[in-house]
Amino acid sequence: MKHLLPFLTGFVAFVIISGVFYMGIMPYPTSSCVVPEDQMNMGAMFFGNALMVGLASYMVNLAGDFSLRNGAIHGAVAGLTANGLLNIFIYAFFTCDGGHIFPLSEVAIDITANVIFMAISGAAIGAMYARGAAKS
pLDDT in tens, 19-70: 999 988 988 877 788 888 889 999 999 999 999 999 999 999 999 889 999 9
How high is the pLDDT of residue 61? 93
Reported as a single tens digit per residue, the pLDDT across 64-88 is: 889 999 999 999 999 999 999 999 9
Q: Please give the torsion angle defined by the CA atoms of residues 36, 37, 40 and 46, in that order, rounded to the nearest 10 degrees.
A: 150
How far is Cα 11 from Cα 27, in angstroms, rounded to an integer? 23
How far is Cα 53 from Cα 13, in angstroms, rounded to an integer? 10
Whole-model pTM: value is 0.89
